[in-house]
Structure 1
Amino acid sequence: MQSRRRGSRRIKGVLLPVRKAIVQSPIGLHARPAAVFVRAVTDLGLPVRIAKEGILPVDARSLLEVMTADFHCGCEVELSVAPEALPAHYSLESAEAALEGLTLLLESGAAA
């Protein structure tokens, strides 16, 4: 069963969206799946971070950082927005929608 949780976090006085997802790609976020995910993040133009328990968040726009973090199949990840670099044209609603799309990508296994 896929587990998608919505939430938000107040960082530096700004309420930012957070999404949790389960990585469904059989090989996790390595090689092609990582590249597909990173390209989707980069295309958004949004400073997304991805984390899992036990590691600090990494820049989801960086293929090297995503692959090095070892997001394996079945692990729960947390997607969030880096508050210090949030583009002015992004509203809270558009950032939420962007994270929701990335969550669906991870949980559908479409990045595989």
Structure 2
Amino acid sequence: MSVRNVKIQSRVGLHARPAALFVQTAAQAPMDVTVAKRGGEPVNAKSILAVLGLDARHGEEITISAEGEGAEELLDNLEKLLSTPEPEGA
């Protein structure tokens, strides 16, 4: 299983557009992908409601994980989205 701890750089946190881009990217992967706040239970990263329900804010660290072929590349892409102050096109 591949795991990354990432600090959210978007000033709105993992909400609205950043959450939608995150979920869209995760949903393109054939494997299960989860996301969790520190000390919290992991949720399905392909579910917009689950991701929004995390209430992950700017500066907080989250853990994303995936298992299977292409997991590292997927986590690279998700980490890039979260580590960017504002997603492209925002």
- Determine if the TM-score, normalized by the shorter chain, exceeds 0.5: yes
1:49 to 13, 34, 47: 34
Task: Give the secondary structure class of the aligned counterpart of 1:18.
Answer: strand
Q: Calculate the TM-score normalised by the size of structure 1.
A: 0.71
* Equivalent residue number for residue 79 of structure 2: 103
Gap regions ≥5 residues in structure 1: 1-15
Three-state SS of the structure 2 residue aligned to 1:100 is helix
| 4+ long deviations beyond 6 Å | none
In the superposition, the TM-score normalised over structure 2's length comes to 0.87
The total of aligned residue pairs comes to 88
Indicate the percent of aligned positions where both proteins have the same amino acid: 40
- Post-superposition offset of 1:101: 1.3
Residues in 2 aligned to 1:17 and 1:25: alpha-carbon distance in whole angstroms: 23
CA distance in 1, matches of 2:64, 2:12: 19
What is the aligned-residue RMSD (CA, Å)?
A: 1.6
Mapped pair 1:70 → 2:55:
yes
Secondary structure of the 2:31 match is: coil
Distance in 2 between the 1:39 and 1:101 partners? 11
Give the letter aligned to residue 78 of structure 2. L
- The residue identity in structure 1 corresponding to 2:84 is S
Unaligned segments of structure 2, at least 5 residues: none
Residues 38-84 of structure 1: CA distance to partner in whole angstroms, max 9, x if unpaired?
01111223311001113201100000000011110110011112xxx
Q: Secondary structure at the match of 1:20?
A: strand
